[in-house]
Structure 1
């Protein structure tokens, strides 16, 4: 077994920030593998942990290695592992599931009642090495660029949200153009959406959404989203809302802009309860409201892999910054200010 020290980015204390430290290389169990990390990307969840907001204060327990989006090379396998071999190029499904709860027993692993998340509830991948169960690994094509391979997990969130219902020929609103919302715009267009309307307050990210495939972009601080939607849809409203913002006002706008019989799929995580007019905006409209969590294991991974391999979705415009892990503070500052797409760190 590989022993010694490695560089790792720690959520070192209960408070703002993180710290680059030398820690022990993790040791693997019989059903695990050790992966040498080639690239890792910063997620919105990591920003929550870094800034130490209310959610992270209630969820995570420093000190520990955080981070969960990555790709790497398998360098060790446990004695019971047969699904991967040393040298395989992999990424990972980040939800560790129990396989015993009612949801898991009926094949709904993505909503396992006992889910633990890599880098949130366990040691993560902002490090030179990470140890994970072999069953959570996804084999990548050997020629896939490291940066693209590292963002498949969040792309899976976008795929799951967009493809949770019919898209072909539909008008789709993507509310909130963080990296996952930007990817959702490209996925909706690739899936045959007639219109993809992206909403945000950040012009930098709206322009990225346009590069990814949005047919219209709306700065909600300068234009009334509902007025724009009425104009673009002939007064009908959008067929599908992908809510990625988590902002109460934006969420309400989403429910008001969706047409009767439409769909609202919510991936965002509002930090506080949101008041919604259920009578007028849900019941009388006869809409479908879906909570979206994680990825379908492993159906969504197959979809992500196929969309990338076919070239139907090109994520390269979204990957705006590559930094050595030593410059993590710059990466997090870019994410906090919204002046980036995906930031890839290289350990």
Structure 2
């Protein structure tokens, strides 16, 4: 099969052929129809310090995907040949305290598709049946392939109800844009978004954001003043911090009203200082850290959001064949894209 292989501990990927996978008793082989590029994939492609410490080549990477089941192991009962599926990328142990108490999304021993085992940047991938998610055939591959990161956005936005609320989203990368679309579908009253890229702020308008703020063009005090003006001096009910940028994090805490909530999804590149007393404690703010998706409640909720009209099409800005992967990573590096999807 054709595949993108991290053969050696160095930057780049190799477009090559690898043996077709075979299923174990509880596995299914999926013919990949679409697989999307993620920030994790970019870390591995660029071979930064995180990737160097985490990845053990050779490895087929990639973890956001959809496809068709073409073969099943002898004991598989949850899916059948011909099923159209996406996949949960976190493979949990099922035995730790978290897994046994309904918190498998923070399993202590989880393994990640495309990181700890061969992933979806290939014609075929073998997966345990219990991570496969049957998807409606009406969902096109470029949308079905992004359900995994879209689930991150669903959990970030809807960890608390935001119907009728004013929401600030700091960071309009793909997951931030997904979160804006989810908030719009879920009935948020007003959505404000900030980013340093005019390109991505334009995408934010397309998915339903009411007010966009350029964090590169305006100083922090001006951004905060603009948010106060939009909210009649009240502040926002909820801040979704999706960038990991320290300035954005302080804006998220500063903009939320007393008694509001802050969701943290963006990953900082280093240590971040926080005025714990004034930014959190004295304001009585609730803080939620988001990692992955809740298994599998977020997936069910996502299916319902699609039925309710969730529109993420503007976020899928570029598609390439598998062999065009380098163009996709170049676009990600430039920031002049939303979500990039490889079609097989």
TM-score normalised over the length of structure 1: 0.96
Aligned residue for 2:18, secondary structure, equals strand
Q: Does the 8 Å contact 1:54/1:271 carry over to 2?
A: no
- Deviation, structure 1 residue 62: 2.0
- Deviation, structure 1 residue 55: 2.2
Question: 1:68 maps to which residue?
Answer: 63
**Alignment equivalent of 2:332, drawn from 320, 327, 335:** 335
1-side partners of 2:87 and 2:25: how far apart? 18
1:318 aligns with 2:315: yes
Moved more, 179-188 or 16-25: 16-25
2-side partners of 1:14 and 1:338: how far apart? 25
**Alignment equivalent of 1:307, drawn from 305, 308, 312:** 305
**Alignment equivalent of 1:128, drawn from 120, 123, 131:** 123
Aligned residue for 1:301, secondary structure, equals helix
Provide structure 1 residue ranges, at least 5 long, that are not aligned to the other structure.
1-5
**Alignment equivalent of 1:295, drawn from 293, 296, 305:** 293
- Deviation, structure 1 residue 318: 1.1
Question: 2:267 maps to which residue?
Answer: 269
Q: Does the 8 Å contact 1:55/1:271 carry over to 2?
A: no
Q: How many equivalent residue pairs?
A: 341
- Deviation, structure 1 residue 344: 1.0
CA separation of 1:111 and 1:168: change in aligned 2, threshold 3 A? same
1:240 aligns with 2:235: no
Residues 1-347 of structure 1: pairs in structure 2 closer than 5 A: 6-223=1-218, 224-311=222-309, 313-347=310-344
Provide structure 2 residue ranges, at least 5 long, that are not aligned to the other structure.
none
Q: Does the 8 Å contact 1:240/1:263 carry over to 2?
A: yes
Q: Does the 8 Å contact 2:205/2:212 carry over to 1?
A: yes
- Deviation, structure 1 residue 13: 2.3
Q: Does the 8 Å contact 1:10/1:19 carry over to 2?
A: yes
1-side partners of 2:134 and 2:316: how far apart? 21
RMSD: 1.0
2-side partners of 1:334 and 1:12: how far apart? 23
- Deviation, structure 1 residue 92: 0.5
2-side partners of 1:103 and 1:239: how far apart? 30
